[in-house]
Chain A
Amino acid sequence: MTMAISKKLLFYLLLTVSALLVFSPAIIAFLMSFMSSEDILTGRIIPETWTLDNYIKAFERFPLFGYLINSFFVSLIIMIGQLLLSSLAAYAFVFLEFKGRDTLFFIFIATMMIPFEASIIPNFQTIRGLDLLNTYTGLSLPFFAVAFGTFLLRQHFKQIPKELKEASEITGMGDLKFYLTVVLPIAKTSLVTLGVYGFLTSWNMYLWPLLATTDDTVRTVQIGLKQLQSQEQLNEWGVIMAGGLIVVLPTLILLFLGQKKLQKGLTEGAIK
């Protein structure tokens, strides 16, 4: 099927205009991060001279590099925790039959109705009580268990033929071995999807890192950006934008690489 040229042009026009509008805040930030202060003050759109000064300043004045490392580790830990816990739980819901399984599944669904934001006060007290404020553990532990991840993986585990499980039982393979050597390798793509999603959302987390960190040693890059924004003077927009772009770059790259898989995985997790 081919489209008429005029219709094609219309779609390209719509797409281009929409793309420009959607991406303009990011483009503006990108251009500004390479501008000198004078360029910004005179309201230029394209930098007169492209300069890396803003980036150098952002790294010099703030422990931005340390923040990046912190964010990276916290996101990585949460990602691994989520993959592990979700896949274990999903395995139990798909391959194991035992009394109370349906009740437990219902409890997992019920967790989706409890907003984390409504339970921050006791969580803050718990983490403080365990002396975990300002630690990677305190930043990541509350997010290991996710119902969404369990549902997503359950959906994919269900597509694994039951015969494989039966065969493994006949050969005397234990559940742990079956989980590790058969199920996980087969479900690799959905694990990648969940991993990308988990990393992305953890990297972008704001409220919890704001509460659970009070010193620069473990502070994440999002909170660093808040600092940068609130401490910089009005004229230093270039530095702030440079900071913003540094924060955004890793997740944008990850998103662009994993976009197709993410879209497929999220849609399947959402609908079925």
Chain B
Amino acid sequence: MKEAVMIPEQYKQIDFMKVKKKQKRVRFIKGMLFLLPSILLFSVFLFYPMARTLYLSFFLTDNSGATTVFVGLDNFKNIFTSPIFLKSLQSTFLFVLYTVPGTIIISLFLAVIANEKLTGIGFFRMIFSSTMGISVAAASVFWMFLFHPTMGWLNQFLEALGFEAIGWLTNPEWALLSVSISTIWMNLGFTFLILLGGLQSIDSHLYESAEIDGASYFYKLRRITVPMLSPTLFFVITVSFINAFQTFGQIDMLTRGGPQNETNLLVYSIYQEAFKNYQYGTASAQAVILFFIILLMTLLQFKLGERKVHYQ
């Protein structure tokens, strides 16, 4: 008798397990169906290309990009002994060094003054965020004129003040700085918008109680604004870093990497090597370097950011 009772129990258990398993499978399939389009496209246009780039970096290729000879690490050896590539790396780091702090400091200033409750402040916010709506190509055209050796406003201004005209884009000593200035301008809008959003999300009670205690404007700025803004700051710094390493459009429009390769930034160098010189192998090796730089930057920022950032 005892056994007779036991068996159906066991069957029930199995049935129950089966149903649960089936439900699990259905749920899994459903989840995958919702995610499939994204996963598929990520695989085709992001993960596969990354692997393929790594693969190509070990080969020589023909003009169409098909692999011909396996050369191991030779492409990497070549780029790291090539003065042009080393120059490109150096320019890229300098460019990052100029543009990231420049963009952040100016945008922060604009966001702080645009965060006051004043009549007509919406208009100023609109102006400050406007460069986000101006494409790299259009911005480059605007700046190309400002940098123009004779007609450009910058040189006219300098001459009016009695200084000598500068070859903004043609003088090797100035070109990278000039491109950086125009890039800072292009990035202002986006960075400003994010920082303003961060400022507005700070609890106003903090300022009110500081005011009651008689705190000065700069004391509040230093002790409330900056610490409370740190997660947003951390985000824009990371994004600015990554963007700076990926700069391409303004180089192609303003200097084409010149003069004397001064502004031959990493992505432009990859583009030249792959699509002008048809050296897909070395271009891929450069792309791999770019990938690792950005990976390292992101990880470093996360590590450093975690400790210093103040989260609410």
- Could you tell me which A residues sit within 8 Å of B by CB distance? 1, 3, 8, 11-12, 14-15, 18-19, 22-23, 25-26, 28-29, 32, 40-41, 43, 84-86, 88-89, 91-92, 96-101, 104, 107-108, 111-126, 141-142, 144-145, 150, 175, 200, 203-204, 206-207, 210-211, 222-223, 225-226, 229, 237, 240-241, 243-245, 247-248, 251-252, 254-256, 259, 262-264, 266-268, 270-271
Contacts and interface: CB of A to CB of B under 8 A. Distances in A.
A150 B35 CA distance: 10
Nearest to B246: A117
B33 to A, nearest CB: 8
A159 to B, nearest CB: 15
Given A8-B118, A248-B138, A96 B41 contact: no
13 contacts: A15-B124, A41-B151, A88-B38, A96-B30, A98-B27, A200-B132, A222-B137, A226-B137, A226-B252, A259-B193, A263-B197, A270-B198, A270-B235
B246 to A, nearest CB: 5
B291 interface: yes
B45 A126 contact: yes
B96 interface: no
A108 B34 CA distance: 14
Contacts of B131: 22
A188 to B, nearest CB: 19
A39 to B, nearest CB: 11
A129 to B, nearest CB: 10
Contacts of B189: 255
B252 A22 contact: no
A19 B106 CA distance: 12
Given A84-B37, A251-B133, A252-B134, 19 more contacts: A28-B153, A99-B24, A99-B28, A113-B295, A117-B246, A118-B270, A119-B287, A121-B53, A121-B270, A121-B287, A122-B53, A145-B38, A150-B38, A207-B248, A207-B267, A222-B137, A241-B145, A255-B133, A267-B200
Contacts of B248: 117, 206-207
A121 B274 contact: yes
A92 B37 CA distance: 12
Interface stretch (B7-15, B108-116, B164-172, B219-227): B108-116
Contact of A121 (B37, B45, B65): B65
B95 interface: no
B255 interface: no
Contacts of B127: 19, 22-23
A78 B112 CA distance: 34
User: Considering the complex of A and B, which 8 residue pairs feature the smallest CB-CB distances, nearest first?
Assistant: A267-B197, A119-B49, A255-B133, A92-B34, A204-B135, A122-B49, A206-B249, A145-B41
Interface string B40-61: 1110111111101100100000
B294 A263 contact: no
A210 B188 CA distance: 25
A229 B135 contact: no
Contacts of B242: 115
Contacts of B128: 18-19, 22
Interface of B: 24, 27-28, 30-32, 34-35, 37-42, 44-50, 52-53, 56, 65, 109-110, 113-114, 116, 118, 121, 124-146, 151, 153, 156, 185, 188-189, 193-194, 196-198, 200-201, 208, 211, 231-232, 235-236, 242, 245-246, 248-249, 252-253, 267, 270-271, 274-275, 280, 283-284, 287-288, 290-291, 294-295, 298
A96 B31 CA distance: 6
Nearest to B275: A211
Contacts of A107: 39, 42
A198 to B, nearest CB: 14
The interface centre, meaning the residue of B34, B144, B236 with most chain A CB atoms within 10 A of its CB, is B34
Nearest to A144: B41
Contacts of A119: 45-46, 49-50, 52-53, 287
Contacts of A206: 135-137, 248-249, 252
A123 B45 contact: yes
A22 B110 contact: yes
Contact of B135 (A40, A41, A251): A251
B267 A117 contact: yes
